[in-house]
Copies of this chain bind each other. A is one copy, B any other.
């Protein structure tokens, strides 16, 4: 692998555990299996290394897309929710660190927020589509519901490991529960499972 990428990945790992101040150049170089001098030759300074790290992380944030034309809201949203939650959970330490450094390194916090922010926008568009297709009630406070839904994913990813018991169990079922609860809140009727030929009145 390119030495540049090896250092960046090592920096991400060390940063996720120790934060910016604790992620010393020695530690990062060691983790990357690289001489510390090489780190400085490659990136110039610790600051610019982390600048690039934040940029890369923001660019790489995957926001799965929701269909423009909703067909099976429960299923589609559960799937989306699972992906977003998995992403947030996987990067929880990194995100926690970045957000906690808001006061000292605001750009890092901003970069960390970009992914989730886009996800929220995608969800809002999806709910508009639900309304447009008569699947969701148009009157509800959907903005509040969306905000609560996104916070739920965020809270689950950030806090579950330190507050077990405060989140839906088992963890694997959480996405379905969040999605179902959200859909009820925006007035989407639950379908009978797995497309029965006729709907029960």
Contacts and interface: CB of A to CB of B under 8 A. Distances in A.
Interface of A: 16-19, 21-22, 93, 96-97, 99-104, 106, 109-110, 113, 116-117, 120, 141, 143-145, 147-152, 154-156, 158-159, 161-163, 166-168, 177-178, 180-181, 184-185
7 contacts: A22-B104, A97-B100, A99-B100, A100-B101, A147-B167, A151-B151, A151-B152
A168 B181 contact: no
Contacts of A161: 102
Nearest to A146: B166
Contact of A104 (B17, B150, B156, B167): B17
A110 B162 contact: yes
A148 B149 contact: yes
A174 to B, nearest CB: 8
Contacts of A16: 103
A100 B100 contact: yes
A159 B104 contact: no
B163 A113 contact: yes
User: Of residues A19, A154, A168, which shows the largest number of chain B Cβ atoms within 10 Å of its Cβ?
Assistant: A19
A103 B99 contact: no
A151 B162 contact: no
Contacts of A144: 168, 177-178, 180-181
